[in-house]
Amino acid sequence: MAFCMRISRNFIHTLKSKVGFFRRDLTPWLTSPCVQIFENPDPILQTNVTRFTSRRFESIKAEEQCSSADHAQVLDFPGGKVAFTPQMEFLSESPEVRSPCYRVLDEYGLSIEHSSFAEVSKEVAIKMYSDMVTLQTMDTIFYEAQRQGRMSFYVTTIGEEAINIASAAALSISDIVVPQYREPGVLLWRGFSLQEFANQCFGNKGDNGKGRQMPAHYGSNKHNYFTIASTIATQLPHAVGAAYSLKMDKKDACVATYFGDGGSSEGDFHAALNFAAVLEAPVIFICRNNGWAISTPLSDQFRSDGIVVRGKAYGVRSIRVDGNDALAMYSAVHAARKMAISESRPILIEALTYRVGHHTTSDDSTKYRSADEIECWRVKRDPVSRFRKWIESNGWWCDETEMELRSSVRKQLLHAIQVAEQAEKPPIRDLFTDVYDVPPANLCEQEKLLKETIKRYPQEYPAHVSV
Amino acid sequence: MLGAARQKMLGQSLQRIRPMEKVFRSYSSAAKQMTVREALNSALDEEMSADPKVFLMGEEVGEYQGAYKISKGLLDKYGPERVLDTPITEAGFTGIGVGAAYYGLRPVIEFMTFNFAMQAIDHIINSAAKSNYMSAGQMTVPIVFRGPNGAAAGVGAQHSQCYAAWYGSCPGLKVLSPYSSEDARGLLKAAIRDPDPVVFLENELIYGESFPVSSEALDSSFCLPIGKAKIEREGKDVTITAFSKMVGFSLKAAEILEKEGISAEVINLRSIRPLDRSTINASVRKTNRLVTVEEGFPQHGVGAEICATVVEDSFGYLDAPVERIAGADVPMPYAANLERMAVPQVEDIVRAAKRACYRYVSTAAAA
């Protein structure tokens, strides 16, 4: 109703300027007959004058709009003025040119001319590279451990080390990280030890998750890293809720949440982006577009130009980045963080990369993609070696330090696995705790009965599990 | 007379420490009338005023004053930062509420009905109920999910389902269902203060019903214990358990049964999870007969769980098989006459109680 009134006012003003005689405000024109028009007929109106004014007024209005040159060409609609067009044009479903991808280092690790990127100090660069190597080595060794039957399950991050580490490096420890499940590197950067990773994977007494979850479902309050859940994309609205809470508390921090190309198909992705924009929440959505959702390739996942174009649909500022370029990732996240906090808005970053490993140890990706494709990305576009070339070109790294790092990390990991494997499992009482804040009566009773049973039949229960 | 007055004073002061005792008079004599709607509104208002971390989120809760006017006046009082009108995405705003709760706020998420909450049930179960356990205590979820549950009047299949049994089966959740205004006030306050996720099942048809509330219940620190049922009416021949609207029906049935010489004890469950098994069993041990009443579908319903718990703990005390009264095993029809037959009525409860007392009424007569 409201905008109809405005059109009519525009029309009335135009009429006024042409005819210049309306003595009364005509805004309630829809309800009351416009008698005064007939008292002083206008040449345009004269031909079509009848007693039944409202309907007549409408058709005259259309005629008026067509004939008038300086007439209203815009629609004042919620959200801003919308220009009219007489040409029927559909927006194309795919752009002629895809959104460009921000990259700073070429395949040889050399910085591209005229590139803009955030400065990275030697210390930070070395830590970034060391953590990327550590992550890569941890993945290799833990994967092997699973294949040997020592671990039940594992999720590798091979090929996505730059996304993990570089994004973590650009955040501060007060920023909350809400991961999917392929971001252990962020936790590694924040100080989660190799032993702690191994403990969680073996579900032993040292696991701060008390052996409740499958391997690779890390979580640590101390490191501001929400505990991983297997459900896809559910973390996206959680991230928005947490960001809204940060905003209400006026904290100088944001939330960074990660998801894959497959996760962007979930309803939660839509809800999260939409809400983040409406609530003006300081959250960075980082999409690891790695080409595969288990065996589903991108062509079966969506038909849009990736995920970056969707940001615009929700009113979210977005950028596409080369996910295998650690420096570009760092710069993009660094800038996104500043915008998210200072302008209190969500930012979407689509990082293009490749899932070099299998989806998890329960998958064999050679069954649905060519070994050549995997090899190409693994060797030619490896983010770790690319970054290594850059730090070497700065004189911050050399072969010796490389060898030292790799052998040291490998030793630490093998030791961590050994310790984790032999460590005691969590006590039986951890079966019953944390269901609620206070254990309920029925669980207390069951725990008591179980303890009594174990005491009575000790030979039936494993000796190395404490009660 | 004197004794009664002393007992009343003692009762009021000890109410909070003593577990729910069987009292003849449900409410104190100086009773004020309050609708369930007012009770919920006042509870929300007081909890939001007491704790700045509490905030309300849902469709139409702000400008519209609430789809059922439960949140009337709250937007004006607390502002848009604490009373959030959301777009139509149950999954979205439930997820956001859970995320805010992970961070440390205390959201109250309103669903226009729990039928719509099915679109958000993944967040309720997987993200809220299980998180404290899965994260080993690192992520607590002090959230309340509330809204109308069960059948309204003439709203058809997709707006009438009762979810008490679904949520009641989930460890990690607490599930409450108030009947009277005092229930509504005390349980909602308890739910908001509770550190665990709580599903709060209201009933649209009772929102406008008025109940007397004691002066104690009007106090802003009033709170009812979660997990304790209330004996609405004492009796000795048959136990009738019910929750929400069915408590009213059961009380009416008890009146009818009284005239026929059957003294029914009506238990208002108040809490679906944790279920107050001790009160139910103590009652059955006294009466030896049990009728469970609920509006929801019969299979795997609340009554099934109550029956199982009584069989487990008080089998020897049962003099008759447990009778279950539930909604019809069909999606809720719309036509008024069909709807009436799909939901338990007072006559059904009376008949079931008589059957339990071996005053047999053939089921053919019921058709």
What's residue B327's pLDDT? 96
Residue A133 shares a structural domain with residue A24: no
Interface test with B, best of A245, A247, A266, A429 (most B CBs within 10 A): A245
Check which CATH number belongs to the domain holding A273 and give it. Answer: 3.40.50.970
Q: What is the 3-state secondary structure (H, E, C) of B270-334?
A: CEEECCCHHHHHHHHHHHCCEEEECCCCCCCCHHHHHHHHHHHHHHHHCCCCCEEECCCCCCCCC
Residue B224 identity (one-letter amino acid): L
CA B300 to chain centre: 18
Contacts 24+ apart (CB under 8 A), A95-99: A95/A305, A95/A309, A98/A305, A98/A306, A99/A305, A99/A306, A99/A308, A99/A309, A99/A320
Say yes or no: ipTM exceeds 0.90.
Answer: no
Structure tokens at B174: 């607490």
Residue A211 shares a structural domain with residue A344: yes
Residue of A nearest to B123 (CA): A234
What's residue B359's pLDDT? 79
Residue A435 included in any domain: no
CA distance A177 to B291: 51
CA distance A199 to A184: 14
pLDDT, tens only, A133-161: 999 999 999 999 999 999 999 999 999 99
Contacts of A207 in chain B (CB under 8 A): 136
Interface check for B132 against chain A (CB to CB < 8 A): the answer is: yes
User: Which of B92, B94, B136 is nearest residue A208 as measured by Cβ atoms?
Assistant: B136
Considering the candidates A103, A355, A358, A386, report the single residue annotated as catalytic.
A355
CB distance A278–B134 less than 8 Å?
no
CA distance A358 to A162: 18
Residue A182 included in any domain: yes
Residue of A nearest to B172 (CA): A435
Confidence at B24, pLDDT banded by 50, 70, 90: very low
Q: Mind giving me the DSSP string for A335-368? A: HHHHHHHHTT--EEEEEE----S-SSTT--GGGT
Please determine, for residue B109, whether its predicted confidence score (pLDDT) is greater than 90.
yes
CA distance B155 to B135: 40
Confidence at B10, pLDDT banded by 50, 70, 90: very low
CB atoms within 10 A of CB B211: 22
Residue of A nearest to B99 (CA): A238
Total domains in chain A come to: 2
Residue A170 included in any domain: yes
Contacts of B92 in chain A (CB under 8 A): 237, 267-268, 270-272, 274-275
Considering the candidates B110, B159, B204, B232, report the single residue annotated as catalytic.
B159
Residue A246 included in any domain: yes
Contacts of A233 in chain B (CB under 8 A): none
pLDDT, chain A, mean: 88
CB distance B99–A435 less than 8 Å?
no
Q: What is the 3-state secondary structure (H, E, C) of A415-467?
A: HHHHHHHHCCCCCHHHHCCCCCCCCCHHHHHHHHHHHHHHHHCHHHCCCCCCC
pLDDT, tens only, B66-96: 999 999 999 999 999 999 999 889 999 999 9
Residue A110 included in any domain: no
CB distance A435–B132 less than 8 Å?
yes
Q: Is B305 a catalytic residue?
A: no
Q: Which of A22, A51, A82 is the last residue of a domain?
A: A82
Mean pLDDT of A192-218: 96
Residue of A nearest to B136 (CA): A209
pLDDT, tens only, B283-309: 999 999 999 999 999 999 999 999 999
Lowest mean pLDDT among B14-28, B33-47, B216-230, B311-325: B14-28
User: Which of B96, B138, B171 is nearest residue A275 as measured by Cβ atoms?
Assistant: B96
pLDDT, tens only, B240-262: 999 999 999 999 999 999 999 99
Structure tokens at A85: 């067009």
Could you say which DSSP state residue B363 is in? G
Residue A146 shares a structural domain with residue A10: no
Residue A186 shares a structural domain with residue A328: yes
What residues contact residue A36 under an 8 Å CB cut-off, 6+ apart?
A22, A23, A24
Please determine, for residue A52, whether its predicted confidence score (pLDDT) is greater than 50.
no
CA A129 to chain centre: 24
What's residue B361's pLDDT? 56
Residue A443 included in any domain: no
Residue A206 shares a structural domain with residue A349: yes
CA A442 to chain centre: 41
Residue A59 shares a structural domain with residue A205: no
Residue A396 included in any domain: yes
Residue B306 identity (one-letter amino acid): I
Contacts of B62 in chain A (CB under 8 A): none
Residue A61 shares a structural domain with residue A209: no
What is the sign, positive or negative, of the torsion defined by CA atoms of B33, B38, B43, B49? negative
Structure tokens at A324: 């295998």
Q: Hey, is A230 helix, strand or coil?
A: coil
Considering the candidates B46, B47, B90, B204, report the single residue annotated as catalytic.
B90
pLDDT, tens only, A265-275: 999 999 999 99
CB distance B172–A436 less than 8 Å?
yes
What residues contact residue A439 under an 8 Å CB cut-off, 6+ apart?
A432, A433, A447
What residues contact residue A292 under an 8 Å CB cut-off, 6+ apart?
A261, A262, A298, A355, A359, A365, A369
Between A70 and B326, the more confident residue is B326
pLDDT, tens only, A298-335: 999 999 999 999 999 999 999 999 999 999 999 999 99
Residue A223 shares a structural domain with residue A145: yes
Distance from CA of B197 to the nearest CA of A (A): 9
Q: Give start and end residues of each alpha helix (H) in A171-266.
A: 184-190, 194-202, 235-248
Domain of A395? 122-421
CA distance A103 to A390: 13
What's residue A392's pLDDT? 96
* Residue owning tokens 């620190």: B221
Lowest mean pLDDT among A61-65, A358-362, B163-167: A61-65
User: Which residue, B150, B161, B151, B94, is CA-closest to B121?
Assistant: B94
Residue A175 shares a structural domain with residue A292: yes
Q: Give start and end residues of each alpha helix (H) in A34-121.
A: 35-39, 43-46, 53-67
Interface of A with B in 19-58 (CB under 8 A): none
Residue A322 included in any domain: yes
The DSSP element (H or E) to which A69 belongs, if any, is none
The DSSP element (H or E) to which B243 belongs, if any, is none
Q: Is A368 a catalytic residue?
A: yes
What's residue A25's pLDDT? 43
Structure tokens at B121: 């049930």
User: Which residue, B29, B94, B105, is CA-closest to B59?
Assistant: B94
Residue of A nearest to B171 (CA): A435
Residue A130 shares a structural domain with residue A31: no
Strand A74-77 and strand A80-83: the pairing is antiparallel
Q: Which of A82, A111, A142 is the last residue of a domain?
A: A82
Residue A20 shares a structural domain with residue A130: no
Interface check for A181 against chain B (CB to CB < 8 A): the answer is: no
List C-alpha distances in Å: B82 to A372, B38, B77.
55, 20, 10
Mean pLDDT of A406-423: 97
Residue A36 shares a structural domain with residue A128: no
CB distance A231–B122 less than 8 Å?
yes
Instruction: Say what the pTM is.
Output: 0.84
CA distance A236 to A242: 10
Contacts of B101 in chain A (CB under 8 A): 241
Q: Is A359 a catalytic residue?
A: yes
What's residue A73's pLDDT? 86
Structure tokens at B244: 């929400």
Contacts of B95 in chain A (CB under 8 A): 234, 236-238, 240-241, 268, 271-272
CB atoms within 10 A of CB A15: 22
Q: Which of A22, A53, A82 is the last residue of a domain?
A: A82
Contacts of A267 in chain B (CB under 8 A): 89, 91-92
CA distance A72 to A83: 9
Residue of A nearest to B55 (CA): A245
Contacts of B100 in chain A (CB under 8 A): 241-242, 244-245
CA distance A144 to B93: 41
CA distance A160 to A359: 12
pLDDT, tens only, A207-234: 999 999 999 999 999 999 999 999 999 9
